Chains A and B, each alone.
Chain A
C-alpha cells in the first residue's frame, strides 16, 4: 500500500516535470497566461478591497477572511489543474472518443489521464493563492503549514468535481457546457462568505456544489486553528474524490472508442 502510494507520487512528479517541459516550449505563451491569471485574481481582490473600504464587515466577515477564501480556492484550483489539468478536459475527451490512448496504458486509467495535461494559467492561480495569503493575512507558522495542507485538500475537491462533471458525458452525451457551469458555480460560491447563504442552499454547498469543502471548512480551520474543521475538510475532499472515481469507472463501461490514433507530448 505504502509502496503503491510512493509509486504514484513518483508518477505525479514525472508527469508534472514532463508537462512543464512541454509548456516551456512556448515560454512566452506560458508566462503570459500565468501573469494574466495572477492579474485576474488580483482584480477580484481589488474588488474586495474597494468593497471593504466602503463596508467594513459583511455578516461578520472582514477583508482578511474573504482574502483567505480567495487564497484557498485559487491555490487549490491552481494545484489541481496545474498537476491534473485533464480534469477540466474530461467531457470533451469522452465525447470525442479520445480516452483510447489512456486505456492502452498498463496501469490505472484515471490517474494517467488526469496527469496527462497541465493548464498553464493554473500555475498563476496557485502562485496567487499562496502570495495573497502570505501578504494579506500574514499567517503564523502553524497557520501557514495548515494552509499548505488544506490547499492540497481543496485541490482534491476540484479534481473530484472535474471527474464528476466530466463523467456526465458518459451518461448524457455532450456535457461540456454543463460541466463548465457546474465548476463555475462551485468557484463562485466558494469565494463568497458562507454566512450569506441560508437554509436549503447551505445544504447544497456541502453536497451538489461542494463549496463547503473547497473553502468554508478550510478557512474556518485557519481562522480558529481547528483540527476538527481541517479534518472535516480533508475527509470531505477524500469522499468527493472516492465518489467521483466510482462514477468515472461506472461510466467507463459505457464509453465508445473514437478509433482515433493520437500521441501525447
Chain B
C-alpha cells in the first residue's frame, strides 16, 4: 500500500505541474479546435452526399463525438519515450537506479499524472467544440461506465508502448523515428479518424485483434455508441496485450539495465 502511495504522489505532483502552465493549456485547446474543425468539415462533406443518415453505424453527431474521444486519447499521450531517451543519453538512468524507487513505476506515475490532466483538458475542449459543431450527444450511465472502465487499461498499454520505445535508446542513437512510427501505428491501426467498420473488410479482423484498436477505437466507440459485446472483446484484447507488453518490457528492461556502466565521478 505504501509503495502504491509513493507512485501515486509522483503522479499527483506531475499532474499539478501540468495544470500550472496556462499558456500550454491554451495551445492545447487551440490544437484540439483546429483538428476537430478540419475533421468535422470532412465528415460533414461525406455525410452530406451519403444516402443514409448513418455511416459505420454512427450518425454525424456520433462521428464528431467519436473524434473528440479518440483525438483526446491520441493527443494526451505523454512523451515517456523522450524522458527515457534523455535518461539514457545523459546517464541520469544510473542515478535513478540507486533511488529506492522502481524505474518503470516512477515513469508510470509521471506518465499517468500527465496523461490524466491532458486527457481531461482535451476532453473538455472537445466537448465544447463538439456541442457547437454537432450538438449534444445522448449518453447512458452504462455507456459512460464502460468508457471509463476501458480507459485505464488503454492508458497503461499506451504507456508500455512509449516506455518500450524509450528503452530502445540503450541500443539506438535516437528513438525519435521509432516513436513517430509507434504514434502513426496507433493512429492508422487504432481507428483514430476512421472507425474500424470503415476499414476494408479484409483488414478488419486483423486490426481488431491488435492492441491499437482496443486503445483508440474501443474507448471512442464506448463513448458514442456503447455495446457490451465490443466492450468485452476490447477488454480481453487489452488484458492479453497487457500480459504480452509486460513480458516484452520486462525482458527488454532487464537486458537494457545490463548495459549500464557506472564509472564514478
Contact = CB atoms under 8 A, between A and B. Distances in A.
Contact of A177 (B27, B177, B183): B27
Contact of A47 (B38, B172, B193): B193
A180 B28 CA distance: 11
B188 A47 contact: yes
Interface residues of A, number: 35
B187 to A, nearest CB: 7
Given A28-B172, A53-B200, A54-B198, A39 B46 contact: no
B172 A50 contact: no
A40 B184 contact: yes
Contacts of A55: 46
Interface string B179-217: 011011101100001100011100000000000000000
Nearest to A25: B173
A192 interface: yes
Interface stretch (B29-37, B120-128, B142-150): B29-37
Contacts of B173: 26, 28-29, 32
Contacts of B24: 177
Interface string B134-176: 0000000000000000000000000000000000000011101
A241 B188 CA distance: 35
Nearest to B187: A43
B92 interface: no
B16 interface: no
Contacts of B198: 50-51, 54
A39 B42 CA distance: 24
Contacts of A196: 38, 41-42, 45
A203 to B, nearest CB: 15
Contacts of B187: 43, 47
A184 B23 contact: no
B174 A40 contact: no
Given A36-B178, A177-B24, A50 B46 contact: no
Given A188-B34, A188-B38, A32 B178 contact: yes
Q: Is the interface of A mostly helix, strand, loop or mixed?
A: helix
A181 B32 CA distance: 10
A178 interface: yes
Contacts of A184: 31, 34
Contact of A29 (B23, B172, B185, B199): B172
B177 A32 contact: yes
A32 B193 contact: no
Contacts of B178: 32, 36
Contacts of A51: 194, 198
A47 B180 contact: no
Contact of B42 (A37, A54, A181, A192): A192
B48 to A, nearest CB: 9
B142 to A, nearest CB: 30
A33 interface: yes
B115 to A, nearest CB: 18
Interface string A9-43: 00000000000000000101100110111011001
A177 B23 CA distance: 8
Contacts of B177: 32-33, 35-37, 121
A172 to B, nearest CB: 10
B46 A178 contact: no
Contacts of A121: 176-177, 180
A39 B45 contact: no
20 contacts: A28-B173, A28-B174, A29-B172, A32-B177, A33-B177, A36-B177, A36-B180, A36-B181, A43-B185, A43-B187, A47-B193, A58-B42, A177-B27, A181-B34, A184-B31, A185-B34, A188-B34, A192-B41, A196-B41, A196-B45
Counting from the closest, the 4 A-B pairs by CB-CB distance are A36-B177, A29-B173, A29-B174, A43-B184
Given A46-B188, A196-B38, 15 more contacts: A36-B177, A36-B181, A37-B177, A39-B184, A40-B183, A47-B193, A50-B198, A51-B198, A53-B200, A58-B46, A121-B180, A185-B31, A188-B34, A189-B38, A192-B41
